[in-house]
Amino acid sequence: MKTTTKRLSYIFVIPLTIILSGALAAPSQAQTPLRKLTLTTTGTSKVTPDAVKVTVSVSHQGSSSTLATSSVAANHKKLLEVIKKAGIKDVDFKTQSLTVNPEYNYNSSNGVSEIIGYRATQLISIKIDKKINAGAVIDSIVALSDDFSILNTTPVLLNQDATYNLAIKKAIALNKTRALIYVKSLGAKLGRAQVVLEGTPVISYPPMYNGMAKDSSAPSEATVSDLGEESVSVTVTITWEIK
Protein backbone atom coordinates (compact mmCIF):
# COMPACT_ATOMS: atom_id res chain seq x y z
CA MET A 1 0.00 0.00 0.00
CA LYS A 2 2.88 2.39 0.65
CA THR A 3 4.27 1.85 -2.79
CA THR A 4 0.92 2.65 -4.39
CA THR A 5 0.58 5.92 -2.49
CA LYS A 6 3.95 7.20 -3.62
CA ARG A 7 3.17 6.55 -7.26
CA LEU A 8 -0.11 8.41 -7.06
CA SER A 9 1.54 11.43 -5.49
CA TYR A 10 3.97 11.76 -8.37
CA ILE A 11 1.18 11.50 -10.86
CA PHE A 12 -0.72 14.47 -9.36
CA VAL A 13 2.24 16.74 -8.57
CA ILE A 14 3.72 16.97 -12.10
CA PRO A 15 0.60 18.32 -13.92
CA LEU A 16 0.09 20.86 -11.12
CA THR A 17 3.59 22.22 -11.61
CA ILE A 18 3.07 22.68 -15.35
CA ILE A 19 -0.16 24.56 -14.86
CA LEU A 20 1.38 26.94 -12.35
CA SER A 21 4.39 27.70 -14.54
CA GLY A 22 2.13 28.50 -17.49
CA ALA A 23 0.03 30.80 -15.38
CA LEU A 24 3.05 32.66 -14.08
CA ALA A 25 4.54 33.08 -17.58
CA ALA A 26 1.39 34.51 -19.17
CA PRO A 27 1.69 38.09 -17.83
CA SER A 28 5.22 38.47 -19.26
CA GLN A 29 3.89 37.97 -22.82
CA ALA A 30 1.69 41.08 -22.71
CA GLN A 31 3.10 44.05 -24.72
CA THR A 32 2.18 47.71 -24.90
CA PRO A 33 0.60 48.56 -28.31
CA LEU A 34 2.92 50.59 -30.59
CA ARG A 35 1.65 54.11 -31.25
CA LYS A 36 2.18 55.33 -34.82
CA LEU A 37 1.91 58.49 -36.92
CA THR A 38 1.70 58.37 -40.74
CA LEU A 39 2.37 61.47 -42.88
CA THR A 40 2.71 62.14 -46.62
CA THR A 41 4.96 64.93 -47.92
CA THR A 42 6.43 66.04 -51.25
CA GLY A 43 9.95 67.30 -51.92
CA THR A 44 10.80 69.33 -55.04
CA SER A 45 14.20 69.97 -56.57
CA LYS A 46 14.70 72.55 -59.34
CA VAL A 47 17.59 72.66 -61.78
CA THR A 48 18.47 74.02 -65.23
CA PRO A 49 18.27 71.28 -67.91
CA ASP A 50 21.54 70.02 -69.40
CA ALA A 51 20.42 69.66 -73.01
CA VAL A 52 17.67 70.10 -75.58
CA LYS A 53 16.08 67.20 -77.44
CA VAL A 54 15.06 68.20 -80.97
CA THR A 55 12.89 66.10 -83.30
CA VAL A 56 13.60 66.87 -86.96
CA SER A 57 11.36 65.80 -89.83
CA VAL A 58 12.83 65.25 -93.31
CA SER A 59 10.01 64.76 -95.81
CA HIS A 60 9.83 64.70 -99.60
CA GLN A 61 7.21 63.82 -102.18
CA GLY A 62 8.26 62.08 -105.40
CA SER A 63 6.62 60.47 -108.38
CA SER A 64 7.71 57.07 -107.06
CA SER A 65 8.60 55.66 -103.66
CA THR A 66 12.21 55.19 -104.84
CA LEU A 67 12.59 58.84 -105.80
CA ALA A 68 11.00 59.96 -102.52
CA THR A 69 13.28 57.85 -100.32
CA SER A 70 16.33 58.77 -102.41
CA SER A 71 15.65 62.46 -101.85
CA VAL A 72 15.20 61.93 -98.12
CA ALA A 73 18.50 60.03 -97.98
CA ALA A 74 20.28 62.92 -99.70
CA ASN A 75 18.75 65.39 -97.25
CA HIS A 76 19.76 63.15 -94.38
CA LYS A 77 23.41 63.52 -95.44
CA LYS A 78 23.03 67.31 -95.38
CA LEU A 79 21.57 67.07 -91.89
CA LEU A 80 24.51 65.00 -90.67
CA GLU A 81 26.91 67.64 -91.97
CA VAL A 82 25.15 70.31 -89.93
CA ILE A 83 25.07 68.11 -86.83
CA LYS A 84 28.75 67.18 -86.95
CA LYS A 85 29.82 70.73 -87.76
CA ALA A 86 28.04 71.86 -84.58
CA GLY A 87 30.07 69.37 -82.52
CA ILE A 88 27.22 67.00 -81.73
CA LYS A 89 28.40 63.46 -81.01
CA ASP A 90 27.22 60.43 -83.02
CA VAL A 91 25.61 58.90 -79.91
CA ASP A 92 23.42 61.97 -79.51
CA PHE A 93 21.32 61.56 -82.67
CA LYS A 94 19.31 58.67 -84.06
CA THR A 95 16.52 57.87 -86.51
CA GLN A 96 13.16 57.40 -84.82
CA SER A 97 11.20 56.30 -87.87
CA LEU A 98 11.18 56.13 -91.67
CA THR A 99 7.89 55.87 -93.54
CA VAL A 100 6.82 55.84 -97.20
CA ASN A 101 3.15 56.39 -98.05
CA PRO A 102 1.20 57.15 -101.24
CA GLU A 103 -0.22 60.64 -101.70
CA TYR A 104 -3.79 60.86 -103.03
CA ASN A 105 -5.83 63.47 -104.83
CA TYR A 106 -9.58 63.19 -104.47
CA ASN A 107 -11.54 63.84 -107.66
CA SER A 108 -14.90 65.27 -106.62
CA SER A 109 -16.40 64.79 -110.10
CA ASN A 110 -16.19 60.99 -110.04
CA GLY A 111 -15.55 60.40 -106.32
CA VAL A 112 -12.28 58.56 -107.01
CA SER A 113 -8.98 59.12 -105.21
CA GLU A 114 -5.94 58.89 -107.44
CA ILE A 115 -2.32 58.39 -106.42
CA ILE A 116 -0.32 61.47 -107.37
CA GLY A 117 2.96 60.44 -105.80
CA TYR A 118 4.70 59.01 -102.76
CA ARG A 119 5.92 60.77 -99.64
CA ALA A 120 8.90 59.55 -97.64
CA THR A 121 9.37 60.93 -94.13
CA GLN A 122 12.25 60.34 -91.74
CA LEU A 123 12.18 61.50 -88.11
CA ILE A 124 15.52 62.14 -86.42
CA SER A 125 16.02 62.77 -82.72
CA ILE A 126 18.95 65.03 -81.80
CA LYS A 127 20.21 65.73 -78.29
CA ILE A 128 22.04 69.06 -78.10
CA ASP A 129 24.18 69.76 -75.03
CA LYS A 130 23.67 73.15 -73.37
CA LYS A 131 27.29 73.99 -74.20
CA ILE A 132 26.23 74.08 -77.87
CA ASN A 133 24.03 76.87 -79.23
CA ALA A 134 20.84 74.89 -79.90
CA GLY A 135 19.13 77.86 -81.56
CA ALA A 136 21.92 78.17 -84.13
CA VAL A 137 21.73 74.43 -84.89
CA ILE A 138 17.96 74.65 -85.41
CA ASP A 139 18.35 77.63 -87.74
CA SER A 140 20.95 75.78 -89.78
CA ILE A 141 18.67 72.77 -90.16
CA VAL A 142 15.53 74.58 -91.31
CA ALA A 143 17.64 76.68 -93.70
CA LEU A 144 18.71 73.57 -95.65
CA SER A 145 15.45 73.29 -97.63
CA ASP A 146 11.68 73.22 -97.32
CA ASP A 147 11.90 69.46 -96.76
CA PHE A 148 13.12 70.09 -93.20
CA SER A 149 10.94 71.01 -90.24
CA ILE A 150 11.26 70.96 -86.45
CA LEU A 151 8.42 68.95 -84.93
CA ASN A 152 9.23 69.73 -81.30
CA THR A 153 12.00 70.55 -78.86
CA THR A 154 12.15 69.51 -75.23
CA PRO A 155 14.71 70.39 -72.54
CA VAL A 156 16.14 67.29 -70.87
CA LEU A 157 18.19 66.52 -67.79
CA LEU A 158 21.16 64.28 -68.56
CA ASN A 159 21.96 63.47 -64.92
CA GLN A 160 18.60 62.96 -63.24
CA ASP A 161 19.96 60.98 -60.28
CA ALA A 162 21.43 63.98 -58.43
CA THR A 163 18.23 66.04 -58.79
CA TYR A 164 16.04 63.04 -57.94
CA ASN A 165 18.06 62.21 -54.79
CA LEU A 166 17.87 65.84 -53.62
CA ALA A 167 14.08 65.76 -53.99
CA ILE A 168 13.95 62.59 -51.86
CA LYS A 169 16.01 64.23 -49.09
CA LYS A 170 13.73 67.26 -49.10
CA ALA A 171 10.60 65.10 -48.91
CA ILE A 172 11.94 63.08 -45.95
CA ALA A 173 13.20 66.18 -44.11
CA LEU A 174 9.81 67.88 -44.48
CA ASN A 175 8.05 64.73 -43.31
CA LYS A 176 10.19 64.54 -40.17
CA THR A 177 9.69 68.25 -39.42
CA ARG A 178 5.92 67.89 -39.53
CA ALA A 179 6.03 64.69 -37.47
CA LEU A 180 7.97 66.53 -34.73
CA ILE A 181 5.33 69.27 -34.69
CA TYR A 182 2.58 66.70 -34.16
CA VAL A 183 4.28 64.71 -31.39
CA LYS A 184 5.41 67.81 -29.48
CA SER A 185 1.87 69.14 -29.60
CA LEU A 186 0.72 65.84 -28.11
CA GLY A 187 3.39 65.89 -25.42
CA ALA A 188 5.11 62.82 -26.82
CA LYS A 189 8.46 61.99 -28.42
CA LEU A 190 9.24 60.94 -31.98
CA GLY A 191 10.71 57.49 -32.47
CA ARG A 192 12.23 55.83 -35.50
CA ALA A 193 10.67 55.57 -38.94
CA GLN A 194 8.86 52.25 -39.25
CA VAL A 195 7.71 52.27 -42.91
CA VAL A 196 8.76 54.47 -45.87
CA LEU A 197 6.79 54.40 -49.14
CA GLU A 198 7.72 56.37 -52.26
CA GLY A 199 5.30 57.62 -54.89
CA THR A 200 5.94 58.03 -58.62
CA PRO A 201 8.33 60.95 -59.28
CA VAL A 202 7.00 63.84 -61.37
CA ILE A 203 9.28 65.68 -63.81
CA SER A 204 8.05 68.90 -65.40
CA TYR A 205 9.75 70.62 -68.34
CA PRO A 206 9.22 74.19 -69.54
CA PRO A 207 7.52 74.44 -72.98
CA MET A 208 9.71 75.25 -75.99
CA TYR A 209 9.39 75.12 -79.79
CA ASN A 210 6.64 73.27 -81.61
CA GLY A 211 6.08 72.88 -85.34
CA MET A 212 8.89 75.17 -86.51
CA ALA A 213 9.53 75.22 -90.26
CA LYS A 214 11.32 77.39 -92.80
CA ASP A 215 9.52 80.56 -93.86
CA SER A 216 11.36 82.64 -96.45
CA SER A 217 8.96 85.59 -95.98
CA ALA A 218 9.64 85.92 -92.23
CA PRO A 219 12.34 88.24 -90.84
CA SER A 220 15.72 86.55 -90.46
CA GLU A 221 16.09 86.50 -86.68
CA ALA A 222 18.26 84.02 -84.81
CA THR A 223 16.42 81.34 -82.86
CA VAL A 224 16.98 81.53 -79.09
CA SER A 225 17.10 78.38 -77.02
CA ASP A 226 15.77 79.01 -73.50
CA LEU A 227 16.33 76.00 -71.25
CA GLY A 228 14.28 77.40 -68.38
CA GLU A 229 14.05 75.40 -65.14
CA GLU A 230 13.13 71.78 -64.58
CA SER A 231 11.30 70.53 -61.48
CA VAL A 232 11.57 67.01 -60.06
CA SER A 233 9.07 66.14 -57.32
CA VAL A 234 9.06 63.04 -55.12
CA THR A 235 6.29 62.11 -52.66
CA VAL A 236 6.98 59.90 -49.63
CA THR A 237 4.70 58.39 -47.00
CA ILE A 238 6.40 57.62 -43.68
CA THR A 239 5.05 55.87 -40.61
CA TRP A 240 6.79 57.05 -37.43
CA GLU A 241 6.89 55.49 -33.98
CA ILE A 242 5.52 57.67 -31.16
CA LYS A 243 7.11 57.20 -27.74
Same domain membership, residue 243 and residue 185: yes
**Full strand arrangement of the beta sheet holding 93-107:** 93-107, 112-129, 51-62, 148-156, 210-213
Using the Cα atoms of residue 110, residue 112, residue 118 and residue 122 in order, give the sign of their dihedral: positive
* 24 domain residue, yes or no: no
Among 133, 156, 179, the domain boundary falls at 156
Same domain membership, residue 127 and residue 78: yes
* 207 domain residue, yes or no: yes
* 25 domain residue, yes or no: no
CATH number of the CATH domain containing 88 = 3.30.70.2970
Neighbouring CB atoms inside 10 A of 2's CB total 5
* 17 domain residue, yes or no: no
Q: What is the pLDDT along the chain (243 residues), one digit of tens a residue?
A: 444 444 444 433 434 333 333 334 444 455 666 789 999 999 999 888 889 999 999 999 999 999 999 999 999 999 999 999 999 999 999 999 999 999 999 888 888 888 999 999 999 999 999 889 999 999 999 999 999 999 999 888 888 888 899 999 999 999 999 999 999 999 999 999 999 999 877 776 655 545 555 554 555 577 776 777 888 899 999 999 999
Same domain membership, residue 38 and residue 97: no
Same domain membership, residue 178 and residue 119: no
Please state the separation of Cα 99 from the chain's center in Å.
Answer: 28
Name, in order, each residue with C-beta under 8 angstroms of 52's C-beta and a sequence gap of 6 or more. 127, 128, 130, 134, 153, 154, 155, 156, 208, 225, 227
Residue 110's domain spans which residues?
51-156
Same domain membership, residue 94 and residue 169: no
Nearest CA to 186 among 32, 25, 35?
Answer: 35
* 18 domain residue, yes or no: no
Q: How many domains does the chain have?
A: 2
pTM above 0.75, yes or no: no
* 116 domain residue, yes or no: yes
